[in-house]
Amino acid sequence: MSTTAAGIASIGLQLPPLFMPVTELAELRGVDPNKYTKGLGCVDIALCPAGHDAVSLAVGAAKRALSRWNGSAEDIGLVAVGTESSKDMSRPLSAWIAEELGLSGAIRSYEVKHACYGGTLALRQALEWKWSGAGAGKAALVIASDVALYSLGDPGEPTQGAGAVAMIIDQPTLASVVPTAFPFSSPAFDFWRPVGDSFPSVDGKLSLDCYKRAVMECFGSLIGDRDAHEVLSGYRWLCFHVPFPKMVKKAVIHLGEQLGWSTQEAERLYLAKVEDTLEWNQLTGNAYTASLWISVARALVGLEEGTAITAFSYGSGYGAELLQLAAGPAAASASWVSDVEEDLRVRKPVDMWGYETLRGDVRASA
């Protein structure tokens, strides 16, 4: 079967209008701020006030992606939304989003769930739909959107965040994606949210081990029998799902160990190819399905056509997949940077009292 040229034609991002520095949360929780900043590598938590949620974030990101694309709403044949911030067990989040965007008609519209991996699965399905020819010349709108909140005082609280990334899958003007990818899954209860629960349950230590194993397995499949240094030198950036920035560093060091490298060698890899990709994630916190794609959007900025990067997706439960992308001719223009700059410029800080109001009465629940 011949494959149609398809890739990412447009990217739009939307960050929430509020944020709280993790140092403020540390003061509220009576924790040494270094635990959150140095121990977890976090900087800010992006927060949604009342009236903002995964739908409004998704709609904002999608409008921005659509506004910079040379097609129109009539050219969209698929809307796939990866999220773990669902509103309903039946009605897909895509229905709320499509309604706001005025998208209806001959469109396949649905929601994809696999924890933080859901956005990547939505992207893969859209690409496979295009590559197979099933899209019949239509484009896809893929959105990863989440609001990540833990229960008050949970160890995951400093890693909270929110954000959305929308991508139009059509001509690969911003990036092409290599059809061959490297998945790995192994059922586990590392992070889960039972039906009816507002916040996730987490086995923190297990989740770190699952993530590290998935990185090792996926990169192991990519590298195969080849020399790891040589393989990895072919990619300008290595992007990761970012539950909190230190997780990514831990995983890279672990990968180095498994490859028989010294810690210094793995640290050099991290500094050269990973650290800069986390810049926007540190300011949003964990945006679940959107986290990896925030990192990819940062990594694509200004890249010359043909420059290769990797994207490691992880979703608790757990499933992971390593993708390879190459920058397209329009990546150098980095038009989507203005979304992030604008949202960071206008967003307002929340202090610990504002956070208490936002989350409900902390003291009453303590």
* Residues recognised as catalytic: 84, 116, 241
Give me the torsion for CA of 95, 96, 97, 100, rounded to 10°: 120
Question: At its nearest, how many Å lie between ligand HMG and the CB of residue 57?
Answer: 16
Residues 280/11, Cβ–Cβ less than 8 Å: no
Q: Is 202 in the site for ligand HMG (CB under 6 A)?
A: yes
Touching ligand HMG, residues 280-339 (CB under 6 A): 286, 288, 314-316
Question: At its nearest, how many Å lie between ligand HMG and the CB of residue 115?
Answer: 3
**In the complex with ligand HMG, which residue's Cβ is closer, 208 or 272?**
208
Q: 111 forms bridges with which residues in the sheet?
A: 81
E runs forming strands in 149-278: 161-170, 175-177, 182-185, 191-192, 201-202, 237-240
Question: At its nearest, how many Å lie between ligand HMG and the CB of residue 249?
Answer: 9
**In the complex with ligand HMG, which residue's Cβ is closer, 60 or 243?**
243
Q: Which of 205, 291, 207, 210 is nearest to 245 (CA)?
A: 291
Q: Is 244 in the site for ligand HMG (CB under 6 A)?
A: yes
Residues 144/82, Cβ–Cβ less than 8 Å: yes
Contacts of 202-205 with CB under 8 Å at 24 or more apart are: 202/150, 202/154, 202/155, 202/156, 204/155, 204/156
Q: Which of 142, 119, 11, 103 is nearest to 65 (CA)?
A: 11
CA gap 120, 293 in Å, rounded: 8
Question: At its nearest, how many Å lie between ligand HMG and the CB of residue 101?
Answer: 25
User: Phi-psi bin for 268: left (phi > 0), alpha (psi -120 to 50), beta?
Assistant: alpha
x/- mask, ligand HMG, residues 90-129, rule CB under 6 A, reads -------------------------xx-------------
Among 182, 211, 270, 312, binds ligand HMG (CB under 6 A): 211
Size of residue set near ligand HMG by CB under 6 A: 28
Part in contact with ligand HMG (CB under 6 A); list of ranges 13-21, 60-68, 169-177, 204-212:
204-212
93-101 vs 54-67: helix crossing angle, rounded to 10: 50
Question: At its nearest, how many Å lie between ligand HMG and the CB of residue 126?
Answer: 20
Question: At its nearest, how many Å lie between ligand HMG and the CB of residue 9?
Answer: 27
Radius of gyration of the chain (CA): 19
Question: At its nearest, how many Å lie between ligand HMG and the CB of residue 235?
Answer: 21
Q: 51 forms bridges with which residues in the sheet?
A: none
**In the complex with ligand HMG, which residue's Cβ is closer, 203 or 305?**
203
Q: Is 214 in the site for ligand HMG (CB under 6 A)?
A: no
Among 238, 247, 248, 350, binds ligand HMG (CB under 6 A): 247
CA gap 308, 322 in Å, rounded: 13
Among 24, 44, 53, 84, binds ligand HMG (CB under 6 A): 84
In order of 40, 84, 119, 319, 358, the CA distances from 199 in angstroms are 20, 11, 20, 20, 15
Q: Is 155 in the site for ligand HMG (CB under 6 A)?
A: yes
x/- mask, ligand HMG, residues 27-66, rule CB under 6 A, reads -----x-xx--xxx--------------------------
Among 129, 191, 235, 237, binds ligand HMG (CB under 6 A): 191
φ, ψ at 348 (rounded to 5°): -110, 140
* Omega within 30 of 0 (cis) for the link into 110: no
The residues that touch ligand HMG, with contacts defined as CB under 6 A, are 32, 34-35, 38-40, 84, 115-116, 155-156, 159, 190-191, 202, 204, 207-208, 211, 241, 243-244, 247, 286, 288, 314-316
